[in-house]
Structure 1
Amino acid sequence: MGPKQAGELHTRGLEGLAGRCAPFHTKHGAAFAKWRAVFRVGAHTPSKAAIRRNAKDLASYAAAAQKCGLVPIIEPEVLADGDHDLSRAVNASARVLRGVFRALKKRGDVDVGAVLLKAAMVTPGSSAAEAVTPEEVNVCVCVGGGAGHDAQ
């Protein structure tokens, strides 16, 4: 059930993570740890499969970290690489975030209220044809869930 589209990635290294995390908390006093998953934006990406797989992996990481006494920081990073416009970036980010929180809730062993989300600014791709103003980015980020501009 891995990502299907060319260039899509998924996280690796979750096997045995709880065992590797425990000493950092108990012996070294670590309080938190971060796990990152990246999502490419394109005409057909991020795919549902990539969102599902990476969201499930981020939720698995969060569960392992919490079992070890660590506060999990999850970073579902929607990459700015590409020529996608702001609308496509907002859509991709919203789909990714919905998928991540759906996976966290579905697990049943993650205290979602004790998970930190490392969110990024939603912007058009770094090679986008049209530039946007900071105000346009702000409107999309603040309203992005499908509500209209009047919802501000």
Structure 2
Amino acid sequence: MSERLEDIAVAMVANGKGILAADESSGTIKKRFDVIGVESTADSRRDYREMMFRTKEAMTKYISGVILYDETIRQNAADGTPLVELIKASGAIPGIKVDAGAKGIVNFPGDTITEGLDGLRERLAEYYKLGARFAKWRGVIDIDTTRSVPSAYSIAANTHALARYAALCQEAGIVPIVEPEVLMDGAHDIDTCYDVTKATLVKLYDELYAARVKLEGTILKPNMVISGKKAARQASAEEIAEKTIKLFRETVPA
């Protein structure tokens, strides 16, 4: 397979295929195992992932890439084959989650900033050697109109971090999935979501451009323009589709 960033990015969005998110933290997957009465151990987590990666027809036909967690990218299958090799054998591309989660921003109640830039250059070099060819970083933008959330500072800080992450990924030969997620929690209407998402995407592409990130070698993982879960009026599927596509045409470089 080609190692060019733009070729990897195109392969990740192949028609009829999607990306499998197998990047739950050990804490998150334990909660899921608890529901079905399975003990969460390194072996049980490995067996769960291996079961998915060995479903040959599904992996080959429908999966273009797999996002892994730090533990998983280092694990071997029960027979000793690295899990990364199972993914590659199916024709899918191994990827890795690299952010360290969202933390509250000092002096800005309700706003968060995603952490994980410290040491990222070295981690990406290691992940590349382990087989990762794309990465994921999620910036979280909440909406709470009663508290003026998000602040302009929060949008600026998160998009700047996304751009720094993206540049480091490309330096390492890894395609960055850039995810500035405007959350659908809250009571805001669809127009508020539109305005916040637009402000976020405009700032994001300013930052990516300033950081000299090669856009052809990136993947944008956006949110839909949608009413908040607690909104009195829920927009129809047609309105969501119309406003989401309109927004992308206005903000995302062709």
TM-score by length of 1: 0.88
1:40 matched to which residue of 2?
142
Shift of 1:6: 1.4
3-state secondary structure, aligned to 1:8: strand
Shift of 1:114: 0.8
Instruction: Select the structure with the greater relative contact order (CA < 8 A; seq sep ≥ 6).
Output: 1
Shift of 1:145: 6.9
1:50 matched to which residue of 2?
154
Mark the runs of 5 or more structure 1 residues left unpaired by the alignment: 148-152
More strand, by proportion: 2
C-alpha separation in 1, matches of 2:158 and 2:214:
19
Mark the runs of 5 or more structure 2 residues left unpaired by the alignment: 1-104
Structure 1 residue 9 corresponds to structure 2 residue 127: no
Q: Identify which of 181, 193, 196 aligns with 1:92.
A: 196
CA RMSD of aligned residues (A): 1.8
Equivalent positions of 1:1-152 (< 5 A) are 4-26=107-129, 28-43=130-145, 44-108=148-212, 110-144=213-247
Shift of 1:4: 5.0
Q: Which amino acid aligns with 1:41?
A: I
C-alpha separation in 2, matches of 1:77 and 1:65:
19
3-state secondary structure, aligned to 2:114: coil
- The structure with the largest alpha-carbon Rg is 2
Alignment: residue pair count:
144
Shift of 1:142: 2.1
Shift of 1:47: 1.3
C-alpha separation in 2, matches of 1:102 and 1:129:
34
2:48 matched to which residue of 1?
none
3-state secondary structure, aligned to 2:239: helix
3-state secondary structure, aligned to 2:123: helix
